[in-house]
Amino acid sequence: MAERIGDALGILTTGPRDAAERHRTLRGTIEWSHSHLGEAEKILFRRMGVFASTASLESIEQVCGGDALSVLDALDHLADLSLVQPEAGRFSMLKTIAQFARERLEEAPEAEDIKRRHANAMVTASSAICSGIEGGDQVGALRRGIEEEPDISLALDRCLNRACSGDARMGEKGLSIVANLWMYWHIRGMHVTAREYAEALLEATASAPPSAGRAGTLLSLGLAQWTLGHVDEANELWSEAYDMASGLGDLRLQSRAAFSLAAGFLGLDPGNARSWAKRGAAIGQDSGDRWAFAFARGFDAFAEAILGNLDAARGGFGEALAVQTEIGDFEGSGFALGGLAFIEVQTGNLQSGTELYERARAAYATIGDRAEEARLLGKVAWAYLASGDIVAARRRFLDSITAYQDVASRRGVGLALVGLVATDTIDGVYERAVLLAGVAERLVGEEGIANVYQTAPQGTGHRDAAMAALAPEVAARAHIEGRNMTLEEAVSLARS
């Protein structure tokens, strides 16, 4: 049964011998119910087979309506017969019933048209998700995104399949969906998903002319690559997105590509990062795009902080935070609060710095951005370590490891282990520090989700100090042993 569960209608095909045929087979039961539907109900029933999961009434009307079909009346009848399940304002079918509906749809001449309508509905849904994240309803937009994820994936698969067959319109729909979900996928930690769909669709539509969908997909792919640790590739993609958006006269995409480039250059060339951030802020301000303006202003401030201009940085983060608080941008306010915390720590105000870091972490937690939580936990830990609170520092580095494990980031775990190397060295636990240094050095070079806005502390100074405190043969053996540790062994050692 487990092997055949994908074809649910092909199992459970027998029943009591004295029962009616419709009660002896699962397919027979559904066919019997289906045969008692009116024509309108049969049309809606098969069309609803296009959905992968639950669907809103809005989407059902957009995809399944038309032809003088009264969706509400037909939906009500299907619900009465338990062929459709209403749940929390959305509608779904049991797996076996949905499979039967899909079979009926594939037999109908309208099948391809309904699939195109479904793709259109997911363009609409992804656009609404994007608008919510950038327009002040981040929690609601993320909730809707989670509800729509199965159907978004199904629509992208269909768009990609058709694009590979030369269907330019479906290819552009796929690009639009990927472009719209750039920040949703980032917050949700779905960077591999973003990369796979973006790369496949860009390749399948390589001969298509420049478009907003294509420029936005380059933006989305760049964000995925940057978060996974491929900074140079990200900057190339964002530069291409900026040039394409400029050619199209698309100010929205221009501003986002500009402040993305600021993020990409922060750890490489802070002066260049500042220039890109100022460009993004100017475009956002001139076009009335407050979300983009505030984000770009935050990156401008971060570049100023790295360059040592702390007063300018403090003013920039404050200006960004004021806008972000007003429009309900938790992602942006988390970044700005983290920037203000960075300044406080840099100027020796460790208590206020850790408090601001905790506020930033709470903002990210509100929308479930676990990768940013992991980064902030590490920042808090380094601040505690600077203040001499080894116990608190160790606890927060371990919390950061947990958060990075939640997003399956080996690279992130490595970054947190670097902090524990420093903690153990300061605490005099030299051999464990060297062991953890060995595995950390390997992990930080691997691919994985981690938002690194400046050069991450490598901890080589603490590693060298720990090695110097041990006998040379003990230090060398521990370092080699650490390099050969599995991630699980390293985490277990860190927690010991």
Each residue's pLDDT tens digit, 34-49: 877 889 999 999 999 9
Shared domain check, 277 and 237: no
Stretch 338-358: mean pLDDT, rounded?
92
The answer to whether the Cα torsion of 317, 323, 328, 331 is positive or negative is: negative
pTM over 0.75: yes
Contacts of 312 (CB under 8 A, 6+ apart): 301, 304
Tell me the pLDDT tens digit for each residue of 166-222. 999 999 999 999 999 999 999 999 999 999 999 999 999 999 999 999 999 999 999
Residue 380 lies in a domain: no
pLDDT for residue 24 is more than 80? no
Residue type, 276: W
Residue 335 lies in a domain: yes
39 bridge partner residues: none
Q: What is the pLDDT of residue 474?
A: 94
Residue 378 lies in a domain: no
Shared domain check, 121 and 152: yes
Tell me the pLDDT tens digit for each residue of 378-396. 999 999 998 899 999 999 9
CATH (domain of 76): 1.10.10.10
Q: Are 214 and 244 in contact (CB under 8 A)?
A: yes
Shared domain check, 318 and 232: no
Tell me the pLDDT tens digit for each residue of 85-132. 998 889 999 999 999 999 999 999 999 999 999 999 999 999 999 999
**Domain final residue, candidates 43, 73, 108:** 108
* Separation CA 25–CA 183 (nearest Å): 47
**Domain final residue, candidates 108, 143, 160:** 108
Largest CA distance in the chain: 86
Residue 192 lies in a domain: yes
Shared domain check, 146 and 90: no
Q: Are 266 and 273 in contact (CB under 8 A)?
A: yes
Shared domain check, 255 and 226: no
Q: Are 217 and 175 in contact (CB under 8 A)?
A: yes
Q: What is the pLDDT of residue 3?
A: 58
pLDDT for residue 472 is more than 60? yes
Residue ranges making up the domain that contains 206 = 111-244
Q: What is the pLDDT of residue 459?
A: 67
**Domain final residue, candidates 244, 268, 302:** 244
Residue 345 lies in a domain: yes
Shared domain check, 117 and 104: no
Shared domain check, 262 and 240: no
* Separation CA 465–CA 433 (nearest Å): 10
Q: Domain count for the chain, please give it.
A: 4
Contacts of 196 (CB under 8 A, 6+ apart): none
Residue 373 lies in a domain: no
Contacts of 440 (CB under 8 A, 6+ apart): 414, 415, 417, 418, 420, 421, 459, 482, 490
Q: Are 172 and 159 in contact (CB under 8 A)?
A: no
Residue 477 lies in a domain: yes
Contacts of 23 (CB under 8 A, 6+ apart): 15, 16, 29
For residue 9, name the pLDDT band (cuts at 50, 70, 90).
Answer: low
Shared domain check, 290 and 170: no
Stretch 409-427: mean pLDDT, rounded?
94
CATH (domain of 299): 1.25.40.10
Shared domain check, 82 and 197: no
Tokens read off for 75: 């939906």
For residue 23, name the pLDDT band (cuts at 50, 70, 90).
Answer: very low
For residue 12, name the pLDDT band (cuts at 50, 70, 90).
Answer: very low
Shared domain check, 104 and 9: yes
Shared domain check, 443 and 400: yes
Residue type, 273: A
Q: Three-class SS string for the chain?
A: CCCCHHHHHHCCCCCCCCCCHHHHCHHHHHHHHHHCCCHHHHHHHHHHHHCCCCEEHHHHHHHHCCCCCCHHHHHHHHHHCCCCEEECCEEECCHHHHHHHHHHHHHCCCHHHHHHHHHHHHHHHHHHHHHHHHHCCHHHHHHHHHHHHHHHHHHHHHHHHHHHCCCHHHHHHHHHHHHHCHHHHHHHCCHHHHHHHHHHHHHHCCCCCCCHHHHHHHHHHHHHHHHCCCHHHHHHHHHHHHHHHHHHCCHHHHHHHHHHHHHHHCCCCHHHHHHHHHHHHHHHHHHCCHHHHHHHHHHHHHHHHHCCCHHHHHHHHHHHHHHHHHHCCHHHHHHHHHHHHHHHHHCCCHHHHHHHHHHHHHHHHHHCCHHHHHHHHHHHHHHHHHHCCHHHHHHHHHHHHHHHHHCCCHHHHHHHHHHHHHHHHHHCCHHHHHHHHHHHHHHCCCCCCCCCCCCCCCCHHHHHHHHHCCCHHHHHHHHHHHHCCCHHHHHHHHHC
Tell me the pLDDT tens digit for each residue of 262-280. 999 998 999 999 999 999 9
Q: What is the pLDDT of residue 25?
A: 61
Residue 454 lies in a domain: yes
Q: What is the pLDDT of residue 449?
A: 86
pLDDT for residue 19 is more than 60? no
Q: Which of 285-289, 309-313, 384-388 has the lowest mean pLDDT?
A: 384-388
Shared domain check, 103 and 118: no
Q: What is the pLDDT of residue 143?
A: 95
